[in-house]
Structures are given as C-alpha cells and as structure tokens.
C-alpha cells in the first residue's frame, strides 16, 4: 500500500517541550515550552492540537536531547472522509532533516528514518491495524542503543534496529488530518541541548494541493517560458480517472500554475483546457517563436457495457500570449495516447512520443510535425519484438543528432529503448534497457548528463554520462509512487523535478538537485523573504 505522507524536513521543526529526567515524567503541554511553526499547531486545555489538513503541523522541544528513551502518549485524529489522517511520533531528531519517526495513519504504523538527502527511508511497517479515527489510542516508542520497539494500544507491533542516529529531540506531527495529543510521558537518558535546533531548507515543496476539481492532482509537466517564469501543467480531478459525474460534470481537466522565483512558490491554479470529457496527462513546451503548446489526451464514459472508459484521442491547445488564453483543441492522433512533451528537434521539426494497444499488442511510436504543430504525421511505429510495451514513449536528441527513445514495459517486461538516425522516420527494434520503469521522462542537465526520471521503484531516476550507452544505478527521488516526473533547468545550474503522489487528495510535489562527478546532490529550497514554508 502506498503511503501518502512525505514529511518535509523544514516542517519537521515543531516538537514537544519536555523537562526529562531518568524516571518517568508526565508532560502537560504549556505554551512557553513549545516552538509552534505556524498557526496550524496550538495548545488547548492541556492538549497538543495539530491541524495537518493543509500542511504538516508539528512541535519541537528545544532544551533536551535523548539517547535511550521511552516515549508514550495518547492521540486522537478527527474523523474525515479523505486523507491519511496521520499522527506521528518523532525521536532522536538532530535537526529538521535528521530524525526517526513512527507514522500512524488510518491502518498502518511505519517506522522511518529521515536524512537531509532522503526524508523517507522506511525501516519497518505493519498494516491492517484497527485504529479508528475519533477514538483515543495509546502508542509507545522505545529506543535503547540501536534497538527500536513500537507498541500500539498495548500490543507490540514490531522490533527493528538502525545504527544511524544516536540522540536528539522528541516530538509529534499531524498530516492530512487534525491530531490531538495528551498524557505524554517520557523517560530515558537525557541531556541539555548544547546547540540550537537547526531548521534546514525543505527538500520537498508543494506545487499545488487543490486545483478545484476534487483535490486530486497528477501527471505534471514543467517548462521554462521565455519571460523567465516556470510553467507547470497538471491533471486536476477527483481521482486517477475523473469521468464526468454530478460533482464534476465536465470530468477532469488540464490546469496550470506558474512560478516566478525558481520553484519556491507557485501561483494559484488556472484552467488551460476543460472539455466535455476527462482531459488528462498534459505536457507543455514553448516553441522558439514563443507559442506554447500543451498536449493531452481525453477519456469519455463508455458507450458499451463492460468497459471502464472510451479513448477519445490526443489533442493540443496553444497560446500566443504567455498562457493568458488558449486556442480550441486540435487533433494530434485519434487512436494513440501521449504522456510526454512535444520535443523540438535541432532541425526545427516537432516530434511527440505516443503509444497504443491493438489486438493484445502494446507498442510505442512517434508522430511528427513540420508546421509548428498545426498538422501531424501518421504514427511511426516502433518494433516491440514481441514485448508488451505500455510505452508512454519519450525521447531525447543525442549529441550526434540521433534520437533515443524509452518505452514503458508491461506484463513483466523491462523498460525498452530504440534509436533513430533519421530524425524519427525509422527506428531500431526495441531492446530492454536493463531495469523496470514506467512513465519515462528525459532531460539533459547543464553539464551534459542525460537524466531519465520514471516510476519504479516509487519515484526514481537514472542518469547516463555516455549518451545512453550505459545507465547509473537507480537514484530514489521520493517514496510516493505516483511519479510521472518532469524536469527543468534552474538559473543556478540545478534541476527542478516535479512529480505527483497518488491516492486520495494527491498533490504535485517538487525537489531540487544538481548533477556532480559523484552523481546526484539533493538541494534544499531556500525561503524567499517574507514567505512561510509549505
């Protein structure tokens, strides 16, 4: 089961204040003992009240650090129809990027270690818990040396070991729900803090939480516009497929947000296209003449029983005024879907990866345009050599002028690749790339490295220093498995990658990194003046 909570390091800066000694110490929350990150965290009648419905809400103790400890408390999460409804226990926190935590959500307890590079390193989990919202539960976390024990309502859930963090602060958080915490008791080996608890720049930022069509956002794509802004388009609906219904009579739609500060903050969502059916999987590019093209495909309610939906075709809309207004949709291809952006080749032609299935055979291919996207060729199909390729084809132009395509594998097949030496007019037979992956997306970083972001495992990427001949080991990006990543260069030479979570109230997220001789260096988001963390 996918976990929808991804705590960002900066918001992990709000923990419980406790004056500990070797014996048990009961804690009654008092305002003078707590750092409250923002207005979502309060103290009310001796309870911590953490409102994590719009952002993670936490509290931090600034005076003591524990090595061995036992931390117990009662918690209640208000009932709600959606969201993971999580309350978390945090311990051995060195700073806002380094700590352990136990994530109690609707039916799971996941033990995780966060580091400044990876905020979700899962250690252990148990699922299928009977932990209804609206009722008080008693949880206990024990750590002695490198051994960790987690107990819920008097039942031992699991034991684990981890040798990374030796001591630190304790605390609580709420995510996608409102959590109440009381009857806090802590014991163990404590010492006074000798340095200020540091708040590191967040590693993950939210691009959009709710575009107004059901609070499910997915399938993002980002590009830089000529005026310097970043533009991110994405699908907005009420679920993975949002066909028209009484609540959303025009189905899912294509929306977008803009950033004028290199991805630190994003504008409120606006609509790019909302047709009569479910319009989805958008991608965006700005052509050299300034025209913005946004391609997508549409699904409709099935006309025959036994089907989940009907495929209506792939389309594009265009804007010549920087995204202020958009043209009527134009057909790209009636039979094949697209999940990657239109690529501009060195000779000025446009090319777009596509995919389809017929008679039980799944395959990929491309279409081309020589008139700036006004008309498109028939599908130029790639030979899948008998492999079932869900495709979601994307491609990149190599330094020698040839094209390199990646195609999603299905039914046990790896991701495959194919090459064209005639600008996409013909392609070599597809071959396995060496690893399983979905939704490929290519980007060449400022130093010439080819980046290939994808899903599986979760949200990940590989990179190549030799024009696709060999690929690095897998680089984890994020524990959420929605993916459909997209990348864009930032002005400082780093790369912004956007992706989505998946599940109820899925959000569009982003991270920032740099390619180095050693590989991938993850970077934080410095806060612009006067802006609060999200």
State pLDDT tens for residues 437-460: 999 999 999 999 999 999 999 999
DSSP 18-82: ----SS-EEE---GGG----STTEEEETTEEEEE-SSS-EEEE-SSEEEEEEEEEEEEEE---SS
pLDDT: is 399 or 8 the higher one?
Answer: 399
Encoded tokens for 161: 């070991």
How far is 460 from 454, CA to CA, in rounded Å?
A: 6
Structure confidence at residue 525 (pLDDT): 85
State pLDDT tens for residues 469-504: 999 999 999 888 899 999 999 999 999 999 999 987
| CA dist 320 → 162, 223, 323, 368, 371 (Å) | 55, 15, 7, 21, 15
Q: Per-residue pLDDT for 390 more than 90?
A: yes
371, 350 contact by CB (below 8 A): no
CB-side neighbour CA atoms (13 Å) of 449: 25
Structure confidence at residue 195 (pLDDT): 78
Q: Per-residue pLDDT for 82 more than 90?
A: no
Structure confidence at residue 35 (pLDDT): 67
Structure confidence at residue 26 (pLDDT): 54
State pLDDT tens for residues 157-170: 999 999 999 999 98
Q: Per-residue pLDDT for 233 more than 90?
A: yes
Q: Per-residue pLDDT for 505 more than 70?
A: yes
The neighbouring-strand residues paired with 158 are 150
Cβ neighbours of residue 168 closer than 8 Å, sequence gap 6 or more: 65, 66, 91, 92, 93, 94, 98, 99
510, 204 contact by CB (below 8 A): yes
Q: Per-residue pLDDT for 341 more than 60?
A: yes
Average pLDDT of every residue of the chain: 90
Q: Per-residue pLDDT for 417 more than 50?
A: yes
Instruction: Kindly report the backbone phi and psi dihedral angles of residue 152, in degrees, each rounded to the nearest multiple of 5, phi listed first.
Output: -130, 125
State pLDDT tens for residues 36-76: 666 788 888 889 899 988 778 888 777 788 999 999 999 99
pLDDT: is 2 or 526 the higher one?
Answer: 526
Q: Per-residue pLDDT for 10 more than 50?
A: no
Q: Place 231 in a pLDDT band, splitting at 50, 70 and 90.
A: very high
Q: Per-residue pLDDT for 534 more than 80?
A: no
The neighbouring-strand residues paired with 391 are 408
66, 73 contact by CB (below 8 A): no
SS3 at position 360: coil
Structure confidence at residue 12 (pLDDT): 34
Cβ neighbours of residue 157 closer than 8 Å, sequence gap 6 or more: 109, 126, 129, 150, 151
Q: Which of 74-83, 117-126, 352-361 has the highest mean pLDDT?
A: 352-361
498, 529 contact by CB (below 8 A): no
How far is 431 from 454, CA to CA, in rounded Å?
A: 18
pLDDT: is 11 or 117 the higher one?
Answer: 117
How far is residue 297 CA from its own chain's centroid?
A: 22
Q: Place 34 in a pLDDT band, splitting at 50, 70 and 90.
A: low
Q: Place 248 in a pLDDT band, splitting at 50, 70 and 90.
A: very high
Structure confidence at residue 17 (pLDDT): 36
Q: 125-141 as b/e, with b when 16 or more CB fall inside 10 Å?
A: beeebebebeeebebbb
Q: Per-residue pLDDT for 5 more than 70?
A: no
Q: Per-residue pLDDT for 97 more than 90?
A: no
Structure confidence at residue 503 (pLDDT): 84
Q: Per-residue pLDDT for 339 more than 70?
A: yes
What structural domains does the chain harbor? Answer: 10-192 (2.60.120.560), 205-523 (2.120.10.10)
pLDDT: is 17 or 315 the higher one?
Answer: 315
State pLDDT tens for residues 108-150: 999 999 988 777 889 999 999 999 999 999 999 999 999 999 9
Q: pTM for the full model?
A: 0.80
Q: Per-residue pLDDT for 207 more than 70?
A: yes
How far is 190 from 393, CA to CA, in rounded Å?
A: 55
Q: Which of 26-35, 233-242, 248-257, 520-529 has the lowest mean pLDDT?
A: 26-35
How would you classify residue 250: left for phi > 0, otherwise alpha for psi between -120 and 50, otherwise beta?
A: alpha
Encoded tokens for 427: 């392609």
């Amino acid at each position: 089961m996918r976990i929808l909570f991804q705590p960002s390091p900066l918001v992990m800066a709000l923990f419980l204040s406790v004056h500990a000694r070797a014996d048990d110490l009961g804690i009654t929350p008092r305002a003078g003992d707590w750092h409250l990150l923002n207005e979502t965290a309060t103290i009310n009648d001796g309870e911590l009240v953490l409102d994590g419905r719009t952002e993670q809400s936490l509290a931090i103790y600034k005076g003591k650090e524990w090595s061995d400890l036992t931390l117990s408390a009662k918690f209640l999460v208000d009932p709600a129809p959606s969201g993971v409804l999580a309350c978390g226990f945090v311990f051995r926190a060195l700073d806002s990027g380094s700590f352990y935590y136990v994530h109690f959500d609707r039916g799971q307890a996941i033990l995780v270690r966060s580091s400044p590079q990876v905020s979700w390193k899962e250690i252990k989990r148990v699922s299928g818990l009977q932990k209804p919202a609206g009722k008080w539960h008693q949880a206990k976390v024990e750590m002695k040396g490198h051994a960790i024990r987690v107990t819920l309502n008097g039942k031992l859930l699991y034991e684990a070991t981890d040798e990374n963090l030796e001591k630190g602060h304790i605390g609580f958080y709420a995510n996608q729900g409102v959590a109440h915490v009381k009857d806090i008791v802590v014991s163990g080996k404590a010492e006074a803090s000798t340095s200020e608890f540091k708040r590191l720049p967040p590693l993950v930022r939210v691009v959009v939480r709710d575009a107004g069509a059901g609070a499910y956002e997915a399938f993002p794509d980002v590009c830089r516009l000529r005026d310097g802004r970043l533009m991110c388009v994405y699908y907005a609906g009420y679920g993975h497929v949002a066909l028209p219904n009484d609540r959303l009579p025009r189905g899912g739609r294509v929306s977008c947000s803009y950033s004028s500060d290199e991805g630190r903050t994003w504008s409120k969502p606006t609509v790019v296209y909302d047709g009569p059916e479910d319009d989805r999987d958008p991608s965006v590019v700005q052509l050299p003449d300034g025209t913005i093209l946004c391609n997508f495909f549409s699904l409709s309610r099935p006309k025959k029983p036994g089907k989940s939906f009907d495929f209506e075709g792939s389309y594009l809309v265009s804007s010549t005024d920087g995204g202020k207004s958009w043209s009527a949709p134009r057909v790209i291809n009636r039979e094949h879907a697209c999940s990657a952006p239109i690529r501009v080749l060195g000779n000025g032609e446009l090319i777009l990866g596509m995919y389809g299935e017929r008679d039980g055979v799944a395959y990929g291919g491309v279409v081309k345009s020589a008139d700036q996207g006004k008309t498109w060729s028939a599908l130029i199909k790639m030979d899948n050599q008998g492999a079932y390729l869900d495709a979601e084809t994307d491609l990149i132009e190599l330094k020698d002028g040839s094209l390199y395509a990646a195609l999603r594998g299905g039914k046990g097949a790896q991701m495959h690749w194919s090459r064209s030496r005639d600008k996409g007019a013909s392609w070599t037979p597809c071959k396995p790339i060496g690893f399983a992956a979905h939704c490929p997306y290519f980007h060449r970083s400022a130093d010439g490295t080819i980046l290939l972001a994808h899903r599986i495992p979760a949200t990940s990427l590989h990179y190549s220093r030799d024009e696709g001949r060999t690929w690095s080991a897998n680089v984890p990006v994020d524990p959420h498995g929605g993916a459909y990543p997209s990348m864009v260069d930032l002005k400082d030479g780093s790369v912004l990658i956007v992706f989505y979570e998946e599940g109820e109230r899925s959000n569009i997220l982003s991270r920032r990194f740099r390619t180095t001789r050693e590989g991938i260096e993850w970077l934080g988001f410095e806060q612009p003046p006067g802006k609060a963390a999200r």
